[in-house]
């Protein structure tokens, strides 16, 4: 288990517990009571920490190196996943994974950003930062889903769209903008799930739908806290302060009406029990698709439009 900086006191206690457990013979029997006391103390301390998380700490959890990524969840949530490749114009962007699958008996189109865990995987998936061809690939799959009346499920987990010169030359902003327009008008149900980071237009490019849900320890923002701090205070060292004023965690966004539902994570974060986290996501998606499928296309599109146009407050004098 890898611990974050604010979890260090728990790590120290657990190290003591592990050391005591490694003792053998009669000595181990004598200290069993001490182990039990330390376990209770560790559990209590962990609860204290997670009951009082700051927004910056939530963002650190969203970026936890052991946090489950899309390809950790997909086999646990869906059956018969068949990946589809390419945008039919330039290349196959591996920062986004897409394909047909089944959620129980329901066919779905799954489109998911993938970061990669090892160095080799991170380079392969470009750290989850999509190129223009990635958004066009996603749009191609969404149009296929619409043609065959198949609901769409997207998994969002990215620090942002790839900001390279070549991506801009190939029309990064245009590709994202087209996705926003097309997703807002699609006739099939769309459920968007933020499983970790949901940053900038890179997230929004596959994040327009009927229902927008977030994992408990995830965030959704137009810019990272580091980027915001660099603008406001000319230093990324103020990222924690920026996180507190931005209101970008699942809890804050739910209060603002941006998020429809928060998916509860296993205590301590999804990385502590991936199977349980996947089951919670599965239950949420199944419930949302069931409710959306019961609506007519016209009603669903009207509700989607009302939802998208309800964001934000405007004050006039």
Domain ranges of the chain: 5-52, 59-309
Q: Containing H/E element for 196?
A: strand 190-199
Query: Comparing C-alpha atoms, which of 96, 168, 163, 103 is closest to residue 135?
Result: 96
pLDDT of res. 22: 79
pLDDT of res. 27: 62
Dihedral angle sign, alpha carbons of residues 256, 262, 268, 274: negative
Between 27 and 230, the more confident residue is 230
Q: Among residues of the chain, what percentage have pLDDT more than 70?
A: 98
> What is the arithmetic mean of pLDDT over 153-162?
97
> What is the arithmetic mean of pLDDT over 50-59?
96
> What is the arithmetic mean of pLDDT over 10-27?
80
pLDDT of res. 25: 57
What's the mean pLDDT when you consider all of the chain? 95
Query: Comparing C-alpha atoms, which of 150, 270, 264 is closest to residue 213?
Result: 264
Tokens describing residue 75 = 């086999």
pLDDT of res. 26: 53
> What is the arithmetic mean of pLDDT over 148-155?
98
* Contact criterion met (CB below 8 Å) for 84 and 75: no
pLDDT of res. 129: 98
Lookup result for tokens 């939802």: 307
> Is the confidence at residue 45, as pLDDT, over 90?
yes
Other Cβ atoms less than 10 A from the Cβ of 314: the count is: 4
CA distance 266 to 160: 26
Tokens describing residue 144 = 């296929």
pLDDT of res. 33: 79
Dihedral angle sign, alpha carbons of residues 9, 11, 15, 21: positive
> Is the confidence at residue 30, as pLDDT, over 80?
no
pLDDT band of residue 47 (cuts 50, 70, 90) is: very high
- What's the gap between Cα 128 and its chain centre? 11
249 forms beta bridges with 219
Q: Containing H/E element for 153?
A: strand 152-158
CATH class of 59-309: alpha beta
> Is the confidence at residue 163, as pLDDT, over 80?
yes
Between 12 and 21, the more confident residue is 12
Tens digit of each residue's pLDDT (9 = 90 or more) over 207-259: 999 999 999 999 999 999 999 999 999 999 999 999 999 999 999 999 999 99
The backbone torsions φ and ψ at residue 273, rounded to the nearest 5 degrees and listed phi first, read: -155, 85
pTM equals 0.93
Query: Comparing C-alpha atoms, which of 65, 106, 139 is closest to residue 282?
Result: 106
* Contact criterion met (CB below 8 Å) for 72 and 273: no
Tens digit of each residue's pLDDT (9 = 90 or more) over 86-142: 999 999 999 999 999 999 999 999 999 999 999 999 999 999 999 999 999 999 999
* Contact criterion met (CB below 8 Å) for 68 and 275: no
139: alpha, beta or left, given left = phi > 0 and alpha = psi -120 to 50?
Answer: alpha
Dihedral angle sign, alpha carbons of residues 233, 237, 241, 245: positive
pLDDT of res. 311: 87
């Amino acid at each position: 288990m890898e611990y974050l900086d604010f979890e260090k006191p728990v790590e120290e206690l657990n190290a003591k517990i592990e050391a005591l457990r490694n003792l053998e013979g009669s000595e181990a029997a004598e200290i069993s009571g001490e182990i039990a006391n330390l376990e209770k103390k560790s559990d209590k301390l962990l609860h204290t920490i997670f009951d009082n998380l700051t927004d910056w700490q939530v963002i650190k959890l969203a970026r936890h190196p052991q946090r489950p990524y899309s390809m950790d969840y997909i086999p646990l949530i869906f059956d018969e996943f068949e990946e589809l490749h390419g945008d039919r114009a330039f290349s196959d962007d591996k920062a986004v994974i897409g394909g047909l699958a089944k959620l129980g008996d329901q066919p779905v189109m799954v489109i998911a950003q993938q970061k990669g865990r090892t160095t080799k995987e991170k380079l392969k998936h470009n750290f989850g930062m999509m190129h223009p061809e990635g958004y066009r690939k996603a749009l191609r799959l969404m149009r296929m889903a619409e043609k065959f009346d198949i609901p769409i499920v997207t998994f969002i987990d990215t620090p942002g769209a790839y900001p390279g010169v070549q991506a801009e030359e190939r029309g990064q902003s245009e590709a994202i903008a087209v996705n926003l327009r097309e997703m807002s008008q699609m006739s099939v149900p769309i459920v968007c799930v933020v499983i970790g980071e949901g940053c900038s237009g890179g997230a929004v490019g596959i994040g327009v739908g009927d229902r927008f849900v977030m994992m408990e320890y995830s965030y959704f923002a137009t810019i990272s806290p580091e980027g915001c701090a660099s603008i406001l205070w000319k230093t990324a060292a103020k990222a924690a302060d920026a996180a507190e004023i931005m209101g970008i965690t699942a809890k804050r966004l739910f209060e603002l009406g941006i998020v429809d539902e928060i998916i509860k994570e296993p205590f301590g974060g999804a990385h502590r029990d991936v199977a349980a986290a996947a089951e919670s996501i599965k239950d949420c998606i199944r419930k949302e698709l069931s409710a959306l499928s019961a609506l007519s296309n016209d009603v669903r599109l009207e509700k989607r439009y009302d939802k998208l146009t309800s964001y934000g407050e405007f004050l006039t004098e």
